[in-house]
Structure 1
Amino acid sequence: MKPLPADAAHALDIFQQAGSWEQRARLLMQWGEKLEPLSDAQRTEENRVHGCESQVWLVAEQIGQHWQFRAASEARLIRGLLTLLLMRVNGLESATLAQLDLNDWFNQLGLARQLSPSRSNGLNAVLQRMRELVKTSGY
Protein backbone atom coordinates (compact mmCIF):
# COMPACT_ATOMS: atom_id res chain seq x y z
CA MET A 1 0.00 0.00 0.00
CA LYS A 2 1.32 3.41 -0.96
CA PRO A 3 1.80 6.01 1.75
CA LEU A 4 -0.79 8.71 2.18
CA PRO A 5 -0.22 12.04 0.45
CA ALA A 6 1.38 14.49 2.90
CA ASP A 7 -1.80 16.59 3.28
CA ALA A 8 -3.86 13.47 3.98
CA ALA A 9 -1.35 12.21 6.58
CA HIS A 10 -1.48 15.63 8.29
CA ALA A 11 -5.29 15.61 8.31
CA LEU A 12 -5.36 12.07 9.66
CA ASP A 13 -3.04 13.02 12.51
CA ILE A 14 -5.14 16.03 13.50
CA PHE A 15 -8.51 14.26 13.27
CA GLN A 16 -7.25 11.25 15.22
CA GLN A 17 -6.20 13.60 18.03
CA ALA A 18 -9.71 15.08 18.24
CA GLY A 19 -11.36 13.34 21.16
CA SER A 20 -15.02 13.78 20.32
CA TRP A 21 -17.44 14.20 17.45
CA GLU A 22 -17.96 17.83 18.50
CA GLN A 23 -14.23 18.52 18.08
CA ARG A 24 -14.19 16.77 14.71
CA ALA A 25 -17.28 18.70 13.57
CA ARG A 26 -15.57 21.96 14.57
CA LEU A 27 -12.48 20.88 12.62
CA LEU A 28 -14.64 20.07 9.59
CA MET A 29 -16.13 23.57 9.65
CA GLN A 30 -12.67 25.15 9.96
CA TRP A 31 -11.14 22.99 7.24
CA GLY A 32 -14.04 23.72 4.93
CA GLU A 33 -12.90 27.34 4.94
CA LYS A 34 -9.60 26.18 3.38
CA LEU A 35 -11.37 24.91 0.28
CA GLU A 36 -10.22 27.01 -2.66
CA PRO A 37 -13.36 28.50 -4.23
CA LEU A 38 -14.37 27.71 -7.77
CA SER A 39 -15.13 30.55 -10.12
CA ASP A 40 -18.68 31.19 -11.30
CA ALA A 41 -17.56 29.91 -14.72
CA GLN A 42 -16.64 26.57 -13.10
CA ARG A 43 -19.94 26.25 -11.23
CA THR A 44 -21.74 24.92 -14.27
CA GLU A 45 -24.25 22.14 -14.70
CA GLU A 46 -21.53 20.16 -16.50
CA ASN A 47 -19.34 20.30 -13.37
CA ARG A 48 -22.15 19.60 -10.91
CA VAL A 49 -22.03 16.26 -9.10
CA HIS A 50 -25.37 14.48 -9.24
CA GLY A 51 -26.34 12.31 -6.29
CA CYS A 52 -25.58 14.90 -3.60
CA GLU A 53 -28.32 16.55 -1.54
CA SER A 54 -26.25 19.74 -1.40
CA GLN A 55 -24.98 21.28 -4.59
CA VAL A 56 -21.41 20.19 -5.26
CA TRP A 57 -19.25 21.11 -8.23
CA LEU A 58 -16.07 19.28 -9.22
CA VAL A 59 -13.29 20.05 -11.70
CA ALA A 60 -10.27 17.93 -12.54
CA GLU A 61 -6.85 18.56 -14.02
CA GLN A 62 -4.24 16.01 -14.97
CA ILE A 63 -0.61 16.95 -14.39
CA GLY A 64 1.62 14.27 -15.85
CA GLN A 65 0.30 10.99 -14.44
CA HIS A 66 -1.27 12.64 -11.38
CA TRP A 67 -4.68 14.17 -10.80
CA GLN A 68 -5.67 17.38 -9.07
CA PHE A 69 -9.28 18.04 -8.19
CA ARG A 70 -11.05 21.12 -6.96
CA ALA A 71 -14.56 21.17 -5.55
CA ALA A 72 -17.08 23.56 -4.08
CA SER A 73 -20.31 23.44 -2.12
CA GLU A 74 -22.53 25.99 -0.44
CA ALA A 75 -22.88 23.76 2.65
CA ARG A 76 -20.24 24.33 5.35
CA LEU A 77 -20.04 20.75 6.58
CA ILE A 78 -19.86 19.41 3.02
CA ARG A 79 -16.98 21.82 2.26
CA GLY A 80 -15.08 20.30 5.19
CA LEU A 81 -15.75 16.76 3.97
CA LEU A 82 -14.72 17.76 0.44
CA THR A 83 -11.49 19.26 1.79
CA LEU A 84 -10.65 15.93 3.45
CA LEU A 85 -11.56 13.99 0.32
CA LEU A 86 -9.39 16.24 -1.86
CA MET A 87 -6.47 15.89 0.54
CA ARG A 88 -6.76 12.12 0.13
CA VAL A 89 -7.08 12.01 -3.68
CA ASN A 90 -5.05 14.93 -5.00
CA GLY A 91 -1.80 13.78 -6.53
CA LEU A 92 -2.94 10.21 -7.07
CA GLU A 93 -2.50 8.33 -10.32
CA SER A 94 -5.57 6.95 -12.10
CA ALA A 95 -5.05 3.34 -10.97
CA THR A 96 -4.67 4.36 -7.31
CA LEU A 97 -7.78 6.55 -7.48
CA ALA A 98 -9.75 3.63 -8.93
CA GLN A 99 -8.84 1.50 -5.88
CA LEU A 100 -9.52 4.11 -3.18
CA ASP A 101 -11.75 2.94 -0.33
CA LEU A 102 -13.62 6.07 0.73
CA ASN A 103 -15.31 4.43 3.73
CA ASP A 104 -11.92 3.34 5.06
CA TRP A 105 -10.57 6.89 4.74
CA PHE A 106 -13.45 8.47 6.68
CA ASN A 107 -13.32 5.63 9.21
CA GLN A 108 -9.60 6.36 9.83
CA LEU A 109 -10.51 10.02 10.37
CA GLY A 110 -13.12 9.00 12.95
CA LEU A 111 -15.95 10.44 10.87
CA ALA A 112 -17.61 7.42 9.23
CA ARG A 113 -20.12 6.73 12.01
CA GLN A 114 -21.30 10.34 12.07
CA LEU A 115 -21.90 10.56 8.33
CA SER A 116 -25.58 10.28 7.53
CA PRO A 117 -26.46 7.87 4.72
CA SER A 118 -27.21 10.82 2.43
CA ARG A 119 -23.82 12.46 3.14
CA SER A 120 -22.04 9.16 2.66
CA ASN A 121 -23.89 8.62 -0.63
CA GLY A 122 -23.01 12.16 -1.70
CA LEU A 123 -19.31 11.64 -0.99
CA ASN A 124 -19.41 8.38 -2.91
CA ALA A 125 -21.06 10.27 -5.80
CA VAL A 126 -18.15 12.76 -5.75
CA LEU A 127 -15.60 9.91 -5.83
CA GLN A 128 -17.54 8.21 -8.64
CA ARG A 129 -17.54 11.47 -10.61
CA MET A 130 -13.77 11.74 -10.10
CA ARG A 131 -13.36 8.24 -11.49
CA GLU A 132 -15.58 9.11 -14.48
CA LEU A 133 -13.51 12.22 -15.23
CA VAL A 134 -10.32 10.14 -15.09
CA LYS A 135 -11.82 7.44 -17.31
CA THR A 136 -13.09 9.87 -19.95
CA SER A 137 -9.66 11.49 -20.14
CA GLY A 138 -8.30 8.26 -21.58
CA TYR A 139 -5.80 7.61 -18.79
Structure 2
Amino acid sequence: MTPQKVLQNFQRCSNWEDKYLYLIELGDRFCILPLNEQTNDHKIRGCQSSVWITLTPNDNLIHLAANSDAAIVKGLLALIIIAYDQKSRQQIAEFDIDAWFEQLGLTQHLTPTRSIGIATIIKQVQLMSNV
Protein backbone atom coordinates (compact mmCIF):
# COMPACT_ATOMS: atom_id res chain seq x y z
CA MET A 1 0.00 0.00 0.00
CA THR A 2 1.33 3.43 -0.88
CA PRO A 3 0.26 6.95 0.14
CA GLN A 4 -0.85 7.53 -3.47
CA LYS A 5 -3.03 4.40 -3.43
CA VAL A 6 -4.63 5.51 -0.15
CA LEU A 7 -5.36 8.92 -1.71
CA GLN A 8 -6.97 7.25 -4.74
CA ASN A 9 -9.09 5.03 -2.50
CA PHE A 10 -10.14 8.02 -0.37
CA GLN A 11 -11.20 9.87 -3.52
CA ARG A 12 -13.39 6.92 -4.51
CA CYS A 13 -15.35 7.15 -1.25
CA SER A 14 -18.62 8.99 -1.78
CA ASN A 15 -18.86 10.56 1.69
CA TRP A 16 -17.06 10.89 5.00
CA GLU A 17 -18.82 7.92 6.53
CA ASP A 18 -17.28 5.73 3.79
CA LYS A 19 -13.88 7.35 4.39
CA TYR A 20 -14.08 6.65 8.11
CA LEU A 21 -15.03 3.02 7.41
CA TYR A 22 -12.04 2.75 5.05
CA LEU A 23 -9.80 4.29 7.72
CA ILE A 24 -11.04 1.72 10.26
CA GLU A 25 -10.38 -1.06 7.73
CA LEU A 26 -6.80 0.21 7.25
CA GLY A 27 -6.34 0.21 11.02
CA ASP A 28 -7.48 -3.39 11.29
CA ARG A 29 -5.15 -4.35 8.44
CA PHE A 30 -1.97 -2.47 9.36
CA CYS A 31 -2.01 -2.03 13.15
CA ILE A 32 -0.70 -5.35 14.31
CA LEU A 33 1.43 -4.98 17.40
CA PRO A 34 1.68 -8.03 19.66
CA LEU A 35 0.25 -7.60 23.15
CA ASN A 36 3.65 -8.26 24.70
CA GLU A 37 4.93 -5.09 22.96
CA GLN A 38 2.00 -2.95 24.13
CA THR A 39 3.89 -1.85 27.21
CA ASN A 40 4.56 1.44 28.96
CA ASP A 41 7.95 1.55 27.22
CA HIS A 42 6.19 1.76 23.85
CA LYS A 43 3.22 3.90 24.93
CA ILE A 44 2.95 7.40 23.45
CA ARG A 45 2.15 10.07 26.02
CA GLY A 46 -0.17 12.96 25.22
CA CYS A 47 -2.96 11.00 23.52
CA GLN A 48 -6.47 10.48 24.83
CA SER A 49 -6.47 6.94 23.46
CA SER A 50 -3.87 4.36 24.33
CA VAL A 51 -1.27 4.25 21.56
CA TRP A 52 1.78 2.00 21.34
CA ILE A 53 4.54 2.30 18.74
CA THR A 54 7.67 0.33 18.10
CA LEU A 55 10.30 1.50 15.68
CA THR A 56 13.27 -0.65 14.77
CA PRO A 57 15.97 -0.11 12.17
CA ASN A 58 16.47 -2.93 9.70
CA ASP A 59 19.13 -2.65 6.95
CA ASN A 60 18.96 1.18 6.91
CA LEU A 61 15.17 1.04 6.77
CA ILE A 62 12.80 1.74 9.62
CA HIS A 63 10.23 -0.86 10.63
CA LEU A 64 7.23 0.75 12.29
CA ALA A 65 4.51 -1.12 14.16
CA ALA A 66 1.67 0.40 16.15
CA ASN A 67 -1.68 -0.20 17.77
CA SER A 68 -4.37 1.68 19.65
CA ASP A 69 -7.47 0.91 21.65
CA ALA A 70 -9.55 3.30 19.46
CA ALA A 71 -10.68 2.33 15.94
CA ILE A 72 -10.25 5.75 14.29
CA VAL A 73 -6.84 6.23 15.94
CA LYS A 74 -5.81 2.80 14.64
CA GLY A 75 -6.78 4.01 11.17
CA LEU A 76 -4.71 7.15 11.56
CA LEU A 77 -1.80 5.04 12.83
CA ALA A 78 -2.20 2.86 9.72
CA LEU A 79 -1.70 5.99 7.61
CA ILE A 80 1.51 6.77 9.50
CA ILE A 81 2.66 3.18 8.98
CA ILE A 82 1.89 3.40 5.25
CA ALA A 83 3.83 6.65 5.04
CA TYR A 84 6.89 5.63 7.08
CA ASP A 85 7.25 1.83 7.38
CA GLN A 86 10.16 0.29 5.46
CA LYS A 87 11.48 3.74 4.56
CA SER A 88 14.91 5.21 5.15
CA ARG A 89 15.44 8.07 7.56
CA GLN A 90 15.89 10.36 4.55
CA GLN A 91 12.61 9.22 2.98
CA ILE A 92 10.81 9.82 6.28
CA ALA A 93 12.33 13.30 6.56
CA GLU A 94 11.39 14.16 2.97
CA PHE A 95 7.79 12.92 3.08
CA ASP A 96 5.38 15.77 3.87
CA ILE A 97 2.82 13.88 5.92
CA ASP A 98 0.93 17.08 6.80
CA ALA A 99 0.39 17.84 3.11
CA TRP A 100 -0.72 14.24 2.53
CA PHE A 101 -3.23 14.47 5.40
CA GLU A 102 -4.47 17.71 3.84
CA GLN A 103 -4.90 15.98 0.46
CA LEU A 104 -6.86 13.23 2.19
CA GLY A 105 -9.08 15.89 3.73
CA LEU A 106 -8.35 14.66 7.24
CA THR A 107 -7.27 17.99 8.65
CA GLN A 108 -10.74 19.50 8.64
CA HIS A 109 -12.48 16.28 9.73
CA LEU A 110 -10.51 15.51 12.87
CA THR A 111 -11.44 16.96 16.22
CA PRO A 112 -8.88 19.39 17.65
CA THR A 113 -7.97 16.86 20.36
CA ARG A 114 -7.42 14.09 17.82
CA SER A 115 -5.40 16.44 15.57
CA ILE A 116 -3.11 17.29 18.47
CA GLY A 117 -2.75 13.61 19.36
CA ILE A 118 -1.85 12.62 15.79
CA ALA A 119 0.65 15.50 15.55
CA THR A 120 2.21 14.24 18.79
CA ILE A 121 2.45 10.71 17.40
CA ILE A 122 4.01 11.90 14.12
CA LYS A 123 6.54 14.03 15.99
CA GLN A 124 7.41 11.10 18.25
CA VAL A 125 7.90 8.75 15.27
CA GLN A 126 10.13 11.32 13.58
CA LEU A 127 12.16 11.72 16.78
CA MET A 128 12.43 7.97 17.23
CA SER A 129 13.71 7.64 13.65
CA ASN A 130 16.18 10.49 14.20
CA VAL A 131 14.87 12.75 11.42
TM-score (normalised: structure 1):
0.84
**Of 75, 79, 83, the match for 2:74:** 79
Distance (Å, rounded) in 1 between the aligned partners of 2:26 and 2:126? 24
Give how far 1:76 is off. 0.6
| Secondary structure, counterpart of 1:54 in structure 2 | coil
Distance (Å, rounded) in 2 between the aligned partners of 1:106 and 1:99? 15
Percent identity, aligned pairs only, is 26
1:3 matched residue in structure 2: none
Give how far 1:37 is off. 2.5
* Alpha-carbon contact 2:24-2:71 (below 8 Å) kept: yes
Distance (Å, rounded) in 2 between the aligned partners of 1:66 and 1:104? 23
The alignment of Structure 1 onto Structure 2 pairs a total of residues equal to: 131
2:122 matched residue in structure 1: 127
Unaligned runs of 5+ in 2: none
* Alpha-carbon contact 2:43-2:51 (below 8 Å) kept: yes
Segments of 4+ moved more than 4 angstroms: none
**Of 78, 85, 103, the match for 2:98:** 103
Pair 1:42 & 2:37 matched: yes
| Secondary structure, counterpart of 2:2 in structure 1 | helix
**Of 87, 95, 108, the match for 1:113:** 108
Unaligned runs of 5+ in 1: 1-5
Give how far 1:99 is off. 4.0
Q: CA RMSD in A?
A: 1.7
1:61 matched residue in structure 2: 56
